[in-house]
Chains A and B, each alone.
Chain A
């Protein structure tokens, strides 16, 4: 079963714009992770935020977590064509068993 639901399912933006995608989940978590998947490839880990953290940055990525609302958002600033990919949130209840969401398909137009 899918724990997380990403929103929107698909997003198309111009290069240089910011992209925001959201993830909602149902049960308590120890941490939440975001992964990227380029077409036809495996997933690549982007960033992990723990349940006691509210915001985390990594390069052009900014992740927020609101455990009271059971939601997280991923912001990619100054997007590039190379950011075109599917993005998945994954929730971990605390024993390295992550459950992936349904994904947001991002297209960045040059």
Chain B
């Protein structure tokens, strides 16, 4: 089975510019997550979708970050405008509705550098 796909893998932008990341979860996975991982720290949940509805976006900086999951499949995360402190790896993960496993499957991440 194909894993979680993310693109681009790397992105370098200047502060105040905009950037968008794309994620395609594992087929059939209803739950999709976006995490931000700053160097040396654990991943921090930004937003969690169940199908195309938002379950949790309490830690999403909504003044500059937005995310959508149209049709309940792939998702995009956007930052507009970017700040220096947004430099991080953005990880997408998905999980199955099968509660017996509760396992999240992660994509390779997008490394964002804001100059």
Contact = CB atoms under 8 A, between A and B. Distances in A.
Interface string B68-111: 00000000000000000000000101010001011111111101
A94 to B, nearest CB: 9
Contact of A33 (B41, B42, B99, B103): B103
A30 to B, nearest CB: 8
Interface residues of A, number: 23
A31 interface: yes
B92 to A, nearest CB: 9
B102 A99 contact: no
Contacts of B62: none
- Specify the main secondary structure of chain B where it touches its partner: strand
B102 A101 contact: no
B103 A88 contact: no
A93 B24 CA distance: 26
A33 B102 contact: yes
A61 to B, nearest CB: 15
Given A45-B103, A45-B104, A100 B43 contact: yes
A96 B31 contact: yes
6 contacts: A4-B42, A42-B91, A48-B102, A96-B95, A96-B102, A100-B43
Interface of B: 4, 31, 35, 41-45, 48, 55-56, 91, 93, 95, 99, 101-109, 111
